[in-house]
Amino acid sequence: MRALLIALLRRLLMIVPVLWAVVTLVFLLIHLVPGDPARQLVGENATEEQVQKVRADLGLDKPLLTQYTDYWTGLFQGDWGENPVTRQGVFTRISSRYPATIKLTLASMLIAILISIPLGVTAATHRGTFIDGLSTFTALLGISLPSFALGPLLILIFSVELGIAPVSGGGGLANLILPSITLGAALSAILTRIVRSSVLEELGEDYVRTARAKGLLERTVVYKHVLKNGLIPVVTVLGLQFGVLLAGAIITERIFSWPGVGSLLVDSINERDYKLTQGCILVIAATYVLVNTATDIAYRFLDPRIKTD
């Protein structure tokens, strides 16, 4: 138990350098802008005074090290900067959008689980048959079909033609259906393949033979015994894929005009609101790091065979 706690503590401490690297990378992004970011923001026709003012607002007139320490201080104090033109605060704008993104990501994860487990298990228990081939093909199709083609297709079929699902734009549960299917499709495909191979591996284990010899129903063997062990790799992948979903949400939110951080990020890029872009990237990346760490910890609890060192 002590070894496990030390391992957990060590894993938690590992977040510190990673988050430091993430914040530093995000801070440095603005310095990638070719030319003068302040000039880019106010446009070519602005006067030199206007450019100077925006440069001061963005803090770009200070030495790099001072900008860096100011950036850290601002992060801790909730002062993530503001748009030099509209004066809207970055932190306020992001925090108002963040719940919508998390809601969409979690819903798409749920959809992916609901689709992949029965599909993966069926493929594994029918290995080499037509059903297996079909599930593998569906999974490959899910990975290959881009969300920005699937999304409009779903809207066309279910909203425009059949009229059974709203086009979205945020709001209640019904508005969540099409965006979460769109975002979760690729994950369903990946999970289906993992569930399939994981269940296949477990089906060859001794305990399965024992369970069958006891005279248990095949259904009980698969869903009660095999699936329990077979789901361990699925949990890890789910955690790692949460970040991929968060990033994928940027595109899905744009398709469905979903009011989340992803669509805010795209707006900020189009408006050249660099501070807001930095803030959105930071929030998505930090969430990714935290979820990955949580997954790693959950994985250790789920599978005691994992070494604690």
Partner 1 sequence: MNLTAKIGLGIIGLMVLLAALSPVLASWDKVQRQELTSRLESPDSKHWMGRDQLGRDVMTRIIYGARVSMLVGLSVVSISATIGVMLGAMAGYKGGWTDRIVSNFLFNVFLSFPGILLAIAMVAFLGPSIKNLIIALSVIGWVGYARLMRAQVLKVREYDFVQAARALGANDLRILIRHILPNSIQPLIIQASLGMAGMILAEAGLSFLGLGVPEPIPSWGKMIDDSREFWFTAPHLFIFPGVMIALSVLAFNFLGDGLREMLDPKQRPR
Residues forming the site for partner 1 (CB under 8 A): 17-18, 21-22, 25-26, 29-30, 32-34, 127-128, 140-141, 143-150, 152-153, 155-156, 160, 243-244, 246-248, 250-251, 254, 265-266, 269-270, 274, 277, 281, 284-285, 288-289, 292
- Closest contact distance (angstroms) between CB of 37 and partner 1 is 8
- Nearer CB in complex with partner 1: 20/224: 20
Residue 202 CA to its chain's centroid (Å):
29
Q: How far is the CB of 72 from partner 1 (least distance, A)?
A: 18
Distance separating the N- and C-terminal Cα atoms of the chain: 12
Q: Which is nearer to partner 1, 150 or 177 (CB)?
A: 150
CB of 122 to partner 1, least distance (A): 16
Residue 273 CB, shortest distance to partner 1, in Å, is 10
Which CB atom, from 216 or from 271, has the smaller least distance to partner 1?
271
CB-nearer residue toward partner 1: 209 or 228: 209
Here the tokens at position 91 are 């932190």
Smallest distance from partner 1 to CB 206, Å: 19
Supply the minimum distance, in Å, between the C-beta of residue 43 and partner 1.
15
Question: Hey, what amino acid is at 158?
Answer: F
Residue 27 or 91: which CB sits closer to partner 1? Answer: 27
- Pick between residue 217 and residue 269 the one whose CB is nearest to partner 1: 269
Q: State in angstroms the smallest separation of the CB of 225 from partner 1.
A: 22
SS (H, E, C) the chain: CHHHHHHHHHHHHCHHHHHHHHHHHHHHHHHHCCCCHHHHHHCCCCCHHHHHHHHHHHCCCCCHHHHHHHHHHHHHHCCCCECCCCCCEHHHHHHHHHHHHHHHHHHHHHHHHHHHHHHHHHHHHCCCCHHHHHHHHHHHHHHHCCHHHHHHHHHHHHHHHCCCCCCCCCCCCHHHHHHHHHHHHHHHHHHHHHHHHHHHHHHCCHHHHHHHHCCCCHHHHHHHHHHHHHCHHHHHHHHHHHHHHHHHHHHHHHHHCCCCHHHHHHHHHHCCCHHHHHHHHHHHHHHHHHHHHHHHHHHHHHCCCCCCC
Taking the least distance from each CB to partner 1, the nearer of 85 and 200 is 200
